[in-house]
Amino acid sequence: MPYGYHGKILIADLTARQLVIDEPDAAFYRTYMGGANFGMHYILKHLPRGADPLGPENVLTIMLSVITGVPFSGQSRMTANAKSPLTGAIGDSQAGGFFPAELKNSGFDGLVFLGKAERPVYLWIKDGAPELRDASELWGLGAWDTETRIREELGDDKIEVTCCGQAGENLARMAAIINMRNRAFGRTGLGAVMGSKNLKAIAVRGSQRPAVADAKMVKSVASLGATELKTNRGMEELRDLGTAATVMAQEFAGGLPTRNYTSGTFEDAEAISGERLAETILVDRNTCYACVVRCKREVETDDKYQVKRELGGPEYETLATFGSYCAVKDLNAVAKANALCNDYGLDTISAGATIAWAMECFEDGILPLDDTDGLTLRFGDADAMLQALEALAFRRGNLGALLAEGSARAAAKIGRGSEDRLITVKGSEAPAHMPQVKRSMGLIYAVNPFGADHQSSEHDTSYEENSGDRSLGWLAELGLTKPVPATDLGAEKSSSH
C-alpha cells in the first residue's frame, strides 16, 4: 500500500444497512491519486444512468487525499461528490476543518453511500470500526445541535461531526453538508442528497495515522507554513482579514456583483468589507487542522440579529451574495444570514444569489405578492432577505417552495421573463467573481462540468504583472510567456486553462 493511505474505503449500503470495507490495490491509489477521482470511480461504478439525484439510486462519496491528516498548513481538505440535485450533472464540493484529518485517523480513505435508510441514521466510525446508529432524535435539528447531541450520546467531545441541517432534510436543492458547525461542502446541493438518503450525520474519531514515506521531510514541509506566514503578504492578509479582504479589491475593480449582477460596484461596499468586519463584529479567528493561517472568522452581534461565534463569520462570497447581490449594507444582517446557512445547512452562494434573483423579479413586477406570501422582497431590505432565507430552508409557503428549487428551476416554473434575470450556469448560481473583470473566469464558468465555480481555475488577477504573489516562472509553467491583464482573454491565456 502506498504511504499516506490505509487502503480502506467504506461502502455503506443504507437500504440494506450493510457496511462493507473495500480494499483497493495500490494500482487504484496510483491511478486515481485521491479526492474527486476516487469519488468518480465509485460513482461511475454504482450510479445507474438517468438516476434521480434525490432518489435512493444516487451515490454520495466523501474522499480524502494522500496528505489529508499530514500536518501541513492549508491541506486539511476533503471532497464530496454525487449527482447534483441543482444541476442534474455531477456535483462537486470541498470542505476543510478538522473532520478530514479525523476521518483519516478513523482508519478510512473515503466513504461511499448507496441507497436510502428506512429511518434516519448516522454513521459512527471509531478506529476502523463503523456502525450505523439511529438518528430519529436528530432529525429536525440544525448543525450545531446535531454535533452537540452526537458528542453527548457517544460521550466524547473530540468527535468530529459532519451533517445535513434542516435544509438538506427538506431537500432544498442548494443544501450544504456542514462540519464544525461552520465549514461547508457548500456547492451543488450535496446536503440534499444526504437528506434524501435519511443520512443525518457522520461522526468520526480515531488514532490510526497512516505511515509516511519520509518523516523528516514531512517535518520540514510542516514548518514551512509558519515561516511563510511571516513573509508572504497574501497569507498575512488572509490571517488578518480572511477572504473578506476581497470585498474592496473587487469593488475597486468594478467586479463586486451588485443587485443580482446588474452592476459591478456597490455604493455601500465599505459597510460589508473585511476591514469593517474586523473593526466591529470580529471576536476571534479559527483554523483547520494544523493550519497556522487561522483565516476563519468568528463574529458576534448583540443586536436584534444575535449572531453567535460558534456558527462562524462570513467569507467573501457570503458578504457578496447576502450583501451586494441583495444590496444589503447591514453587516450584522449578512452575518446572521451566514449563521443561519451554517446551522440549516445551505450553500451561502446559491441561497443568497437565488434570493437576489427573486428580489430583482419582485422589483420588476415579475414576482407578485401571491408568490412571496405577502413579503415585500425589495433590494436593500435585510429583514425581508432573512425571512426569504428562512422560508427557503424549510420550504415554507409559496415563496419557500419556489426558492428551495434554486433560481433556474424557479424561473422555469414562473416564466414571465424571470429567465432573463438568471445568473446561472447549468442551473448553478454564479459566485461573486464577475467575468466582466475576470475574463477567463467566465470561460471556466461556461465549461466547468458542475456549473459556475470559482475554485476550478486560477483567478485572472493571478496572471497580472502586479499580482504580488506570482512569479514569471509560475506563469511559464502554465504556458504564458508574459503577465496578462485580468480582462484579457487572448489565445495564450485561454489555452493555459
Beta strands in 242-342 (DSSP E): 282-286, 296-299
Q: Which residues contact 215 (CB under 8 A, 6 or more apart)?
A: none
Nearer to ligand SF4, 339 or 359 (CB): 339
Nearer to ligand SF4, 11 or 241 (CB): 241
- Min CB(225)–ligand SF4 separation in Å: 8
Q: Which residues contact 485 (CB under 8 A, 6 or more apart)?
A: 460, 464
8-state DSSP, 244? G
Of 249-257, 288-296, 337-345, 346-354: span binding ligand SF4 (CB under 6 A): 288-296
Residue 164 · residue 194 · CB < 8 Å: yes
Helices (H) and strands (E) in the chain, counts: 20, 16
Q: Is 234 in the site for ligand SF4 (CB under 6 A)?
A: no
What burial class does residue 256 get, using C-beta atoms within 10 Å of its C-beta: 0-12 exposed, 13-18 middle, 19+ buried? Answer: buried
Q: Is 291 in the site for ligand SF4 (CB under 6 A)?
A: yes
- The Cα–Cα gap between 300 and 320 comes to 19
Q: Using the rule CB under 6 A, which residue among 64, 288, 335, 423 binds ligand SF4?
A: 288
- Min CB(191)–ligand SF4 separation in Å: 19
Of 289-297, 386-394, 426-434, 441-449: span binding ligand SF4 (CB under 6 A): 289-297
Q: Is 287 in the site for ligand SF4 (CB under 6 A)?
A: yes
Site for ligand SF4 in 294-313 (CB under 6 A): 294-296
Residue 123 · residue 111 · CB < 8 Å: yes
Best CA proximity match to 1, nearest among 34, 21, 22, 25: 25
Cell numbers at 414, concatenated: 414562473
Q: 18 pairs with which residues across the strands?
A: 13
Q: Edge to edge, what strands does the sheet with 121-126 contain? A: 129-134, 121-126, 199-205, 160-164, 177-179, 183-185
Nearer to ligand SF4, 246 or 332 (CB): 246
Nearer to ligand SF4, 100 or 206 (CB): 100
Q: Is 282 in the site for ligand SF4 (CB under 6 A)?
A: no
Nearer to ligand SF4, 74 or 397 (CB): 74
Nearer to ligand SF4, 293 or 403 (CB): 293
Of 99-107, 291-299, 415-423, 459-467: span binding ligand SF4 (CB under 6 A): 291-299
Q: Is the dihedral of CA 196, 202, 208, 209 positive or negative?
A: positive
- Min CB(475)–ligand SF4 separation in Å: 23
- The Cα–Cα gap between 265 and 254 comes to 5
Q: Is 245 in the site for ligand SF4 (CB under 6 A)?
A: no
Nearer to ligand SF4, 86 or 235 (CB): 235
Of the chain, the end-to-end C-alpha distance in Å amounts to 33
- The Cα–Cα gap between 113 and 199 comes to 9
Q: Is 293 in the site for ligand SF4 (CB under 6 A)?
A: yes
Nearer to ligand SF4, 101 or 340 (CB): 101
- The Cα–Cα gap between 374 and 29 comes to 55
Residues near ligand SF4 (CB under 6 A), total? 10
Site for ligand SF4 in 87-146 (CB under 6 A): 96
Of 21-29, 245-253, 287-295, 465-473: span binding ligand SF4 (CB under 6 A): 287-295
- Min CB(104)–ligand SF4 separation in Å: 15
Nearer to ligand SF4, 55 or 74 (CB): 74
Q: Using the rule CB under 6 A, which residue among 7, 55, 71, 74 binds ligand SF4?
A: 74
Residues found near ligand SF4 in the complex (CB under 6 A)? 74, 76, 96, 287-288, 291, 293-296
